[in-house]
Amino acid sequence: MSQLVEVKVPDIGDFDDVSVIEVLVKEGDTISENDSIITVESDKASMEIPSSASGVIKSMRVKLGDKVSEGVVLLTLEPSDEEVSSKDTKEKPKADAASEPKEQTEPKSKSSKEEATALPPESEHKQSSKTYIAQSSDAGDKVGKTKESPTAAFALSGKEIRNLPHASPSVRQFARSLGVDLSQVKGTGRKSRIVLDDVRNFVKSALSAPGGITTGSSTLGGSGLSLLDWPKVDFAKFGEVDTKPLSRIKKISGANLHRNWVMIPHVTNNDEADITDLEAFRVQLNKEYEKAGTKFTMLAFIFKAVVQALKKFPEFNASIDGENLVYKKYYHIGFAADTPNGLVVPVIKDADKKSVSDIAKETAELAKLARDGKLSPTQMQGGCFTISSLGGIGGTHFTPIINAPEVAILGVSRSYQKPVWDGKEFKPRLTLPLSLSYDHRIIDGAAAARFNAFLSQLLSDFRRALI
């Protein structure tokens, strides 16, 4: 067996301690000189590090998420026969590419070939690695040019790196320049790797889609939203700061809320319900059922009232599906639950078939699961309409964001005593603020006012639910 060769990180310019965002080979692979081994990414650029020798990989010394600098051993290689014989004829060994810059050759690995058309080799002093510099936003047709753009630069956390879609640096860079979120792109390359054509096709279909496609922080196509870059401020210049990564829930719910806010024409109808009698009834029930451990919450009564309103106004229990409106014959009602990591929406299935006490029990159980981070995906699926109750916290009215593909959401604020004129005198009445946000493409203002007024009537006199 010939002597093992160590392949190290060559001179990669000013880069130090850069993150490994892709490992392109594994133990047992036969690689050729110049085949890409890993991809690293700094805050300014991505680059693939090629092998300085050919042979069979005996051991990998780096993994995804590692930080590497010049001289770090990436792998050990049993050199191929040609490698050994060519080595014999040469004075210096090839194993350490950092010490011996060599002529840039066309990349040989499949992944490198995919991007060879898009990205030319770097300048002389970096010939031992291919360096791709982040580009300005007009890079769509000039993706091959190496041009530094601080605005396109980004840094990724360890978690994000592990979640990166499988794509070469040039593809990621191309996608970034167009504002495409690669997690939405289906890869057609080897092992579902995303190639340039996948990004191009994604953009083409986005541009021809009626509503466009929302990707990352922007929308492609449709309205052709073109927004300014997010302000980049060095906050530490103005005082002490503490930077923490966004929770997974915040990232997911944030993206959903953003899409819903941008794509749905929201209008909010505000109304109030006199819940004096209902609250007295609820307090009475709670006393009666205390020993049985049953609790009747205002939220559970609101669920029942909402179901009645959905039955009376079916377009509120519908969803847009292309050019159709899908009317649902079931009543699965979601409710916003505030958790330490952000907002989630568990769903009570078949709320029409459940009693007020069943709903109270189930909302409490689901809210606990949500706060403990233990909700399963099925417990958050299938919702027809959402209730967001801030009643236990405070506020008067607010504008809840519709939970697409639903078409409306009810925001409930804190009840308060309001002096109401009964024809003879002012009397204190417990009043519940109701804020109904609706999708104006589907629901007219008059229909929303009727829905909210109906809810208000029901909550003011629950006997009406029997009618």
Beta bridge partners of 59: 76
Residue 299 or 305 having the CB closest to ligand COA: 299
Q: Which residues, including other chains, have CB under 8 Å from residue 226's CB and lie 6 or more apart?
A: 218
Among left, alpha and beta (phi > 0; psi -120 to 50; other), residue 459 is alpha
Which residue stretch of 21-29, 85-93, 147-155, 333-341 sits at the interface with ligand COA (rule: CB under 6 A)?
A: 333-341
CB 219 within 8 A of CB 207: no
Regarding 266 and contact with ligand COA (CB under 6 A), the answer is: no
Among 299, 348, 356, 408, binds ligand COA (CB under 6 A): 299
Residue 143 or 345 having the CB closest to ligand COA: 345
Could you give the CA distance from residue 438 to residue 449 in angstroms, rounded to a whole number? 10
Among 9, 68, 133, 343, binds ligand COA (CB under 6 A): 343
Residue 306 or 343 having the CB closest to ligand COA: 343
Could you give the CA distance from residue 303 to residue 456 in angstroms, rounded to a whole number? 13
Q: Are β-strands 5-8 and 73-79 bridged in parallel, bridged antiparallel, or unpaired?
A: antiparallel
Measured distance between the N- and C-terminal CA atoms of the chain, rounded to whole angstroms: 89
Q: Which residues, including other chains, have CB under 8 Å from residue 82's CB and lie 6 or more apart?
A: 54
Beta bridge partners of 364: none
Among 133, 176, 400, 443, binds ligand COA (CB under 6 A): 400
What is the three-class DSSP state of 411? strand
Closest residue to ligand COA, Cβ-based? 391
Catalytic residue among 258, 332, 397, 440: 440
Least distance (Å) from ligand COA to the CB of residue 112? 47
What is the three-class DSSP state of 6? strand
Among 185, 390, 408, 443, binds ligand COA (CB under 6 A): 390
Among 389, 435, 437, 460, binds ligand COA (CB under 6 A): 389
Per the structure block, which two tokens stand in for 433?
A: 């603020």
Least distance (Å) from ligand COA to the CB of residue 311? 23
Regarding 337 and contact with ligand COA (CB under 6 A), the answer is: yes
CB 267 within 8 A of CB 448: yes
Least distance (Å) from ligand COA to the CB of residue 213? 25
Which residue stretch of 17-25, 39-47, 200-208, 388-396 sits at the interface with ligand COA (rule: CB under 6 A)?
A: 388-396
Residue 45 or 275 having the CB closest to ligand COA: 275
Could you give the CA distance from residue 400 to residue 437 in angstroms, rounded to a whole number? 6
Q: What string of DSSP letters covers 187-239?
A: P-SGGG-B-HHHHHHHHHHHHHSTT-EEETTEEESTTT---PPPP---GGGTS
CB 337 within 8 A of CB 347: no
Least distance (Å) from ligand COA to the CB of residue 298? 5
Least distance (Å) from ligand COA to the CB of residue 361? 11
Which residue stretch of 15-23, 265-273, 318-326, 332-340 sits at the interface with ligand COA (rule: CB under 6 A)?
A: 332-340
Which residue stretch of 67-75, 161-169, 262-270, 293-301 sits at the interface with ligand COA (rule: CB under 6 A)?
A: 293-301
Among 211, 373, 382, 392, binds ligand COA (CB under 6 A): 392
CB 70 within 8 A of CB 10: yes
Could you give the CA distance from residue 139 to residue 356 in angstroms, rounded to a whole number? 58
Residue 77 or 359 having the CB closest to ligand COA: 359
Burial of 423 per CB tally in 10 Å (0-12, 13-18, 19+): exposed
User: Given the structure tokens 């292309």, which residue do they identify?
Assistant: 322
Residue 76 or 256 having the CB closest to ligand COA: 256
Q: Please give the residues from 347 up to 386 whose contact with ligand COA meets the rule CB under 6 A.
A: 363, 367
The phi and psi torsions of 16 (rounded to 5 degrees) equal: -140, 135
Least distance (Å) from ligand COA to the CB of residue 430? 9
Could you give the CA distance from residue 319 to residue 403 in angstroms, rounded to a whole number? 11
Residue 257 or 453 having the CB closest to ligand COA: 257
Residue 42 or 363 having the CB closest to ligand COA: 363
Least distance (Å) from ligand COA to the CB of residue 364? 7
Could you give the CA distance from residue 167 to residue 183 in angstroms, rounded to a whole number? 10
Q: Please give the residues from 406 up to 445 whose contact with ligand COA meets the rule CB under 6 A.
A: 412, 414-415, 432
Least distance (Å) from ligand COA to the CB of residue 66? 39
Hey, what amino acid is at 215?
Answer: T
**266 tagged catalytic:** no
Among left, alpha and beta (phi > 0; psi -120 to 50; other), residue 302 is alpha
Residue 104 or 253 having the CB closest to ligand COA: 253
Least distance (Å) from ligand COA to the CB of residue 347? 13
Q: Report the interface residues with ligand COA, using CB under 6 A.
A: 297-299, 335-338, 343, 363, 367, 388-392, 400, 412, 414-415, 432
Catalytic center residues: 440
